[in-house]
């Protein structure tokens, strides 16, 4: 699939595990002493980082779910947070091979490799039998996926009846020409943003019942304001952060994303649904 290759090329770094280990070294940490909180600045690749994860997961009844699917898991930061806090089993799937290899190494570093399995693959063709999972979530992923109905059909198929599915994605909220690059795409060829109502209607067509929708615009703008103040106060970013992933293009991507949110074109949105 040409889009899949373009997407994974966009996210691939080339030497990510070493870059993370070096940045941890600057923080006085080694692979034997690192913990999941040390990794959070780099492995929660969505607006609001760890705080957004806590806000989002708090609405998903995670403690009731034995086996959870993380769709587009990236480096697996959310999966490690979930497995560590709730002691359940998490399976993650992601298109980007380097994120999966790095993510599995990070799970081993923090002793969570028994609970978590990260696999390379596409969310549009999940390599799991029907009704495998008790719950699923997806954070900042479907911005890269055009066929959202196929995506939701696949997630619906692998969930048990009654299971919760949470989405936290960047969505279009008003018409307007977006500035690129942004963290999920270099240009519009791999950016497939749609309105929350499109998510809701595709979720319903797949068979989900949508129970909640939250616009997290104000949370996002406050998050970026605090981050900017911290970075200015310490004379630059800390050794480990999303800049470790995005490298030289970080400043442009973040600046454009804040501009697109401030102009009211896009916003991070949570949608909570359930398989009937």
Contacts with ligand SAM, residue ranges (CB under 6 A)? 7-8, 11, 44-46, 72-74, 77-78, 93-96, 99, 122-124, 139-141, 144-145, 183-184
Least distance between ligand SAM and beta carbon 167 (Å): 11
Please identify, using beta-carbon distances, which residue of 97 and 209 lies nearer to ligand SAM. Answer: 97
What order do you get walking across the sheet with 133-139 strand by strand? 116-120, 89-94, 67-71, 133-139, 159-172, 266-275, 208-215
Cβ contact 190:8 at 8 Å? no
Q: Please list the alpha-helical segments (H only) found in the chain.
A: 2-11, 16-26, 36-43, 49-57, 77-86, 97-109, 148-158, 196-206, 217-233, 242-246, 250-262
Report yes or no: 208 and 152 within 8 Å, Cβ to Cβ. yes
Compare residues 235 and 272 and give the one whose CB is closer to ligand SAM: 272
Q: Toward ligand SAM, which CB reaches closer, 88 or 191?
A: 191
Q: Which is nearer to ligand SAM, 46 or 275 (CB)?
A: 46
Nearest-approach distance from CB 175 to ligand SAM, in angstroms: 23
To ligand SAM, the closest distance from the beta carbon of 242 in angstroms equals 9
Question: Which residue spans within 59-197 are E strands per DSSP?
Answer: 67-71, 89-94, 116-120, 133-139, 159-172
Residue nearest to ligand SAM (CB): 74
Q: Report the residue number, 13 or 32, with the smaller CB distance to ligand SAM.
A: 13
Q: What is the residue whose two structure tokens read 């070294």?
A: 25
Q: How far is the CB of 76 from ligand SAM (least distance, A)?
A: 8
Query: Are 17 and 101 spatial neighbours (Cβ–Cβ below 8 Å)?
Result: yes
| Distance in Å, CB of 22 to ligand SAM, minimum | 20
Give CA–CA dist 190/47, Å, rounded.
19
């Amino acid at each position: 699939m040409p889009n899949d290759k373009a997407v994974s090329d966009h996210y691939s770094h080339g030497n990510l595990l070493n870059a993370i280990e070096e940045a941890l070294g600057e923080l006085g940490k080694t692979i034997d002493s690192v913990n999941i909180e040390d990794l959070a600045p780099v492995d929660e690749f969505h607006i609001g980082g760890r705080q957004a994860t806590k806000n989002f997961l708090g609405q998903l009844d995670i403690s009731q779910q034995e086996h959870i699917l993380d769709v587009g898991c990236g480096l697996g930061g959310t999966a490690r947070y979930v497995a560590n806090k709730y002691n359940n089993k998490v399976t993650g799937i992601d298109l980007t091979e380097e994120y999966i290899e790095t993510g599995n190494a990070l799970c081993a570093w923090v002793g969570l490799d028994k609970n978590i399995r990260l696999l390379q693959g596409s969310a549009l063709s999940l390599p799991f039998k029907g009704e495998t999972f008790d719950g699923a979530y997806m954070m900042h992923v479907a911005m890269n996926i055009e066929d959202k109905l196929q995506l939701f059909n696949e997630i619906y198929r692998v969930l048990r009846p009654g299971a919760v599915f949470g989405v936290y994605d960047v969505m279009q909220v008003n018409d307007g020409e977006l500035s690129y690059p942004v963290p999920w795409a270099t240009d519009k060829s791999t950016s497939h943003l749609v309105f929350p109502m499109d998510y809701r209607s595709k979720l319903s067509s797949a068979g989900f019942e949508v129970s909640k929708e939250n616009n997290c615009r104000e949370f996002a703008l406050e998050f970026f304001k605090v981050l900017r103040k911290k970075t200015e106060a310490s004379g630059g970013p800390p050794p480990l952060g999303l800049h470790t992933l995005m490298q030289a293009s970080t400043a442009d991507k973040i600046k454009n994303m804040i501009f697109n949110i401030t102009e009211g074109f896009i916003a991070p949105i949570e949608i909570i649904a359930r398989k009937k």
